[in-house]
Structure 1
Amino acid sequence: MTIDRRSLLRTSGVAAAGALGAAALSSTARAAGFTAPAHGPHSTGSGPTDGVTRTLLQEHPSPAEGWETVQTLVQIPRHKESGRHSHPGVEVGYIVRGDVLMKFDDRPSIRLRTGDPFFIPSGTIHNAVNVGKVTTMMLSTYVVDEDESLVTTY
């Protein structure tokens, strides 16, 4: 199956809704709460993470044995947050749209705006809070231990 990744980003993942079904998600991504776009919000109710979606774009074995590379599109509605979490490897990201306050347990928070890259070291507990006026879109690529869950929540 071929998916035009540029179209996917331009349409906030909606164009791929039919092409990326739940079967396309790895067990690692499913265990981490990632959904295909057609499956909607990551959580329900009226909490701070309501409406946050994490869409798996691609997943591949890393050149380093025992590691995998996972790329996602994270969308955080206005006044919502990703929730405190960490990853068993590095996260390299880019703010496609919006404004985020990236909070850390072990260092000062940083403000990220459209066009800003970011890097989060392995095991670092963090929380992305949408402080802007639009739904934030973040492109995140992880290089993680293939035997561990992609996300650990706190």
Structure 2
Amino acid sequence: MNMPRLIASALVIAGSSLPLLNAQAQTDIQRTDLVHHALSIPGRDAIQVRVDFDPGAFAPKHSHPGEEIAYVLQGTLEYQLDDKPPVTLKAGEALFIPAGSVHSARNVGNGKASELATYIVRKDVPLLVPAKPSGSANMR
């Protein structure tokens, strides 16, 4: 992935959360791209990013063109995958998110929360696909 595409992916993630922010509490998510490398598996890339969530920050429903492993570095994050009950993880815990699974994440702790997200995804496709609004079928 070239630099403009990395920047575009980060902007999609950050921008997709803007309409869902609580007007009373300023929340924010910062994304730091760490690694992007082609794999020995044809057509696949490994991408690793650090995602920092301010208190109350929410990453709205989205999916990825491959698998994700989310490892919580600090704080407490709640993940909602498809229509399953939410899963709450604390620092040191990890979650496997299957390819195409529509999911969201929220900082439910009192302070900042951070995750290390590792993706094994299809090459040359957007890293993030925003889910359709409620009432519509979710993208898969």
TM over 0.5: yes
* TM-score between both structures, scaled by the size of structure 1: 0.73
TM-fit CA distance, 1:51: 1.5
The answer for the alignment partner of 1:153 in structure 2 is: 130
* TM-score between both structures, scaled by the size of structure 2: 0.79
The Cα offsets for residues 20-55 of structure 1, whole Å up to 9 and x where unpaired, read as xxxx963442231259xxxxxx35688259421111
Q: Is the 8 A contact 2:81 2:103 kept in 1?
A: yes
TM-fit CA distance, 1:152: 0.8
The answer for the alignment partner of 1:69 in structure 2 is: 46
Please point out which of 67, 70, 77 is paired with 1:90: 67
What's the C-alpha RMSD, in Å, of the aligned pairs?
Answer: 2.5
Letter in 2 for 1:63: S
Q: Percent identity?
A: 29
Q: Which of structure 1's runs of 4+ aligned residues deviate more than 6 A?
A: none
Letter in 2 for 1:105: D
- C-alpha change, 1:134 and 1:25, in structure 2 (3 Å) is farther
Q: Is the 8 A contact 2:72 2:94 kept in 1?
A: yes
Show structure 1 runs of 5+ residues with no match.
1-23, 36-41
More strand by share: 2
TM-fit CA distance, 1:115: 0.7
Show structure 2 runs of 5+ residues with no match.
132-140
Q: Is the 8 A contact 1:52 1:75 kept in 2?
A: yes
